[in-house]
Structure 1
Amino acid sequence: MLVNELGQPLAPWTLERAIRSARKKVPGLPPEFRFHDLRHYFASMLIAKGADVKVVQTRLRHASAKTTLDTYSHLWPDADDSTRTAIDEVFAERAEALASAAE
């Protein structure tokens, strides 16, 4: 939750005013940039770095993991990707072990 200097919840208009100000100061920030876009960017960075759904849910303060998955599931690697990666790693480890044994 975003809070003011007194620790009270931040009023939506305060946040909107800060975003409007940032749009003027940050080069390349589109004029239609919103706070919600920042949340999406934050979530996508967490997912790209391997955060699981419960971590992302907590950071975004979603009531349930279903909300998080409904919104961001397309950003997590699918089962085929993770299966291929796992098999590739096992084969690489096996090849390394065989090469070491042959020496």
Structure 2
Amino acid sequence: MRPAVLLGAFAGLRLAEAAALRFDVDFMRGIVHPAIQYPAEPLKSDTAMTAIPIPPELALMLSAEGARTRAEVLVTNEIMRPSTPWVIERAMRHGRASVRGLPQGFRFHDLRHYFPSLLIAAGLDVKIVQARLRHASAMTTRNTDGRLWPDSDESSRAAVAVALAAREDKSRTTEVSN
């Protein structure tokens, strides 16, 4: 299940997309091209087909997994056959007990929320996070993950404080010159 976890946590793929991902990955350029979802159905929207850039390290991990399994899809079960969303979710339930710090109810979809938390913590803006999650609108991204951005109250206070300080400096300069 390692490729499924990598695709969910570091590319933001949905469960059905990860289960159906054939080798729609440009390993050389580091781009995942979601094309279908399980069970071989079209993706939920045109936006879901947006290419996802991944770092070379992730491309190498996924490429190595493909070379190891020699399967037609990237995510396989224990006998190297294409996996299903149900099998992936069952493996997540089974494996979460062995990963320290994961909450009891942790599921695959939580990896998709982990992905934007990484991007937001790195300072990426809402439009970039929207594009990487392949949301149709920035509003969806803000409604889903908006709580992860830094406190807007403090940043707006700081912006007003800077404006007030600049205004105060300007008024002092005017008083001195009069």
Give TM-score scaled by structure 2 length: 0.40
Percent sequence identity over aligned pairs: 52
Bigger fraction of residues in strand? 2
Change (3 A) 1:66 1:30: same
Q: Does 1:6 align with 2:72?
A: yes
Q: Which residue of 2 aligns with 1:84?
A: 158
Deviation at 1:22, TM superposition (A): 2.3
Q: SS in structure 1 opposite 2:97?
A: helix
Q: Distance in 2 between matches of 1:13 and 1:21?
A: 12
Q: Which residue of 2 aligns with 1:15?
A: 88
Deviation at 1:36, TM superposition (A): 2.0
Kindly indicate whether structure 1 or structure 2 has the higher relative contact order, using CA contacts under 8 Å at least 6 residues apart: 2
Q: Deviations over 1:23-67 (max 9, x none)?
A: 132123222111222222221221111011122112222222111
Which of 123, 130, 135 matches 1:50?
Answer: 123
Gaps in structure 1 of 5+ consecutive residues? 92-103
The one-letter amino acid paired with 1:41 is Y
Q: Distance in 2 between matches of 1:75 and 1:36?
A: 17
Bigger fraction of residues in helix? 1
Q: Distance in 2 between matches of 1:29 and 1:17?
A: 15
Q: Does 1:59 align with 2:170?
A: no
Give TM-score scaled by structure 1 length: 0.62
